[in-house]
């Protein structure tokens, strides 16, 4: 990897790590946000619901728009809009205004940003380097987001009152996306690899492709896998208020554990990819191993003794997160074992991605209502829902794995690798 590609990935990684910090600020600053904005758990969930509703509705149109502009232009516009919205939130901290801001985040983070990042990574490296480019990007993404959140956590303890602490923490997050804008502007150039990234007539969107994709059972297997994987991954964020409400961990310390779980553990995606590719030769097998282990850890949350120390409880929550992050970052590679035709692969990804993000439409509001109604008992309901989704995922992956073996897909993959 030459220096131009490395620097481009640094810029894209910082941009990707910073742009989602504010829309999902509750992952780290859950209790602080509730206190400063004087809102309940249900209202906190409504912010993510508003964001997801917009992001999902405009995802497919965003891909069409991206075909007409350069990835760099789309990424810069997304980062600039997110920075301005973040600054507005930091200056107001009002729930009614925040609803409008989170709707705005749906546009700035969901319209063209995700397809632009995928297209940008394809232009940084050649076709043979794409997996390496994405893995390195994901590593930088997690590390840089962790840096931003760590500095924000530090700032949240440096002033006299809670509102001032939260203001400066949010200002750090706002500056983080502004720095991401500058780094992408300076370090990333369109088409570094020199390869043309164009779409043939067969690759362009057609309504008939949607029909074919929806009729294919593999589309629905992939969608269920993505839905359940995202549900369990996103639910990990509720370990943050769980530690403070049930085990007496301070919000600041719980935030540190959240940074590790949600961002630093992104680096484990590279290890997971190597295990799936080099040792198991199957993402399905790796799914079965990781989610079986994660399922045991989640069940273990019901069995934690009352005598466990706050730090001990925090460390325990790192275990299921670490296992899940070993597979979450490479979840899309399961497509190769589903033997999805290349002609409809893009449409399948679009349909499945839309389904996989639907938990944000209802899950956070649902969790919030459970916590508001049942108090700490709501966490038992959250963990039960996680267990149900993990079991459904394991069952679906088992079907996919047996289907792949029956159709000889693994032999084909070994032959193409050779």
> What pLDDT, on a 0 to 100 scale, did the predictor assign at position 68?
74
pLDDT of 25 reads 93
pLDDT per residue as tens digits for the range 65-89:
766 778 899 899 999 999 999 999 9
pLDDT at residue 354, as a whole number: 75
Q: How far is CA 81 from the centre of its chain?
A: 20
Q: What does the domain layout of the chain look like in residue ranges?
A: 7-190, 205-418
CATH architecture, domain 205-418 = Up-down Bundle (1.20)
How high is the pLDDT of residue 129? 57
**Residue 150, C-beta contacts closer than 8 angstroms, at least 6 positions apart:** 256, 259
pTM: 0.81
Give the model's pLDDT for residue 344.
Answer: 67
The predicted pLDDT at position 240 comes to: 93
Q: What CATH number belongs to 7-190?
A: 1.20.1250.20
* Spatial separation of the C-alpha atoms in residues 269 and 261, rounded to whole Å: 13
Domains 7-190 and 205-418 share a fold: yes
Per residue of the chain (418 residues), what is the pLDDT tens digit?
A: 688 888 999 999 999 999 999 999 998 899 999 999 999 999 999 999 999 888 888 776 766 676 677 889 989 999 999 999 999 999 999 999 999 999 999 999 887 787 788 778 767 766 455 556 776 787 888 889 989 999 999 999 998 899 999 999 999 999 999 999 999 999 998 765 555 544 545 555 566 666 777 777 888 888 899 899 999 999 999 999 999 999 999 998 999 999 899 888 887 877 887 788 778 888 899 999 999 999 999 999 999 998 999 999 999 999 999 999 888 877 777 877 887 776 666 667 667 777 877 898 899 999 999 999 999 999 999 999 999 999 999 999 999 999 888 888 777 766 655 4
The predicted structure's pLDDT at residue 21: 93
């Amino acid at each position: 990897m030459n220096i131009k590609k490395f620097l481009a990935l640094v810029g894209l990684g910082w941009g990707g790590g910073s742009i989602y910090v504010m829309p999902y600020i509750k992952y780290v600053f859950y209790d602080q946000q509730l206190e400063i904005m004087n809102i309940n758990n249900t209202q906190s969930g409504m912010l993510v619901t508003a964001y997801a509703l917009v992001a999902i509705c405009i995802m497919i149109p965003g891909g069409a728009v991206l075909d007409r502009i350069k990835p760099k232009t789309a990424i810069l516009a997304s980062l600039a809009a997110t920075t301005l919205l973040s600054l507005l939130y930091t200056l107001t901290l009002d729930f009614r205004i925040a609803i409008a801001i989170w709707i705005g985040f749906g546009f700035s983070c969901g319209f063209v940003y995700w397809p632009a990042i995928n297209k940008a990574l394809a232009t940084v490296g050649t076709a043979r380097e794409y997996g390496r480019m994405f893995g390195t990007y994901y590593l930088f993404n997690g590390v840089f987001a962790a840096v931003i959140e760590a500095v924000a956590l530090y700032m949240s303890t440096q002033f006299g009152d809670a509102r001032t602490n939260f203001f400066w923490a949010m200002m750090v997050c706002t500056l983080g996306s502004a720095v991401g804008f500058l780094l992408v502007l300076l370090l990333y150039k369109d088409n570094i690899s020199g390869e043309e990234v164009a779409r043939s007539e067969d690759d362009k969107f057609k309504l008939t492709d949607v029909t074919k994709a929806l009729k294919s059972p593999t589309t629905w297997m992939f969608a269920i896998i993505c839905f359940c994987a995202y549900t369990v991954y996103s639910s990990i964020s509720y370990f943050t208020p769980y530690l403070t409400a049930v085990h007496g961990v301070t919000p600041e310390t719980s935030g540190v554990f959240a940074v590790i779980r949600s961002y630093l553990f992104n680096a484990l995606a590279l290890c997971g990819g190597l295990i799936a590719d080099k040792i198991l030769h199957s993402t399905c097998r790796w799914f079965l191993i990781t989610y079986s282990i994660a399922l045991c850890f989640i069940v273990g949350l019901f069995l934690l003794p009352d005598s466990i120390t706050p730090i001990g409880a925090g460390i325990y929550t790192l275990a299921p997160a670490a296992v899940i992050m070993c597979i979450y970052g490479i979840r899309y590679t399961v497509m190769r074992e589903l033997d999805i035709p290349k002609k409809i692969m893009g449409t399948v990804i679009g349909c499945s991605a839309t389904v996989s993000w639907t938990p944000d439409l209802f899950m956070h509001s649902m969790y919030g209502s459970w916590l508001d109604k049942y108090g700490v008992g709501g966490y038992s309901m959250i963990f039960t829902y996680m267990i149900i989704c993990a079991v459904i995922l394991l069952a679906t992956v088992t079907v996919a794995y047996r289907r792949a073996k029956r159709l000889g897909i693994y032999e084909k993959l070994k032959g193409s690798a050779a």
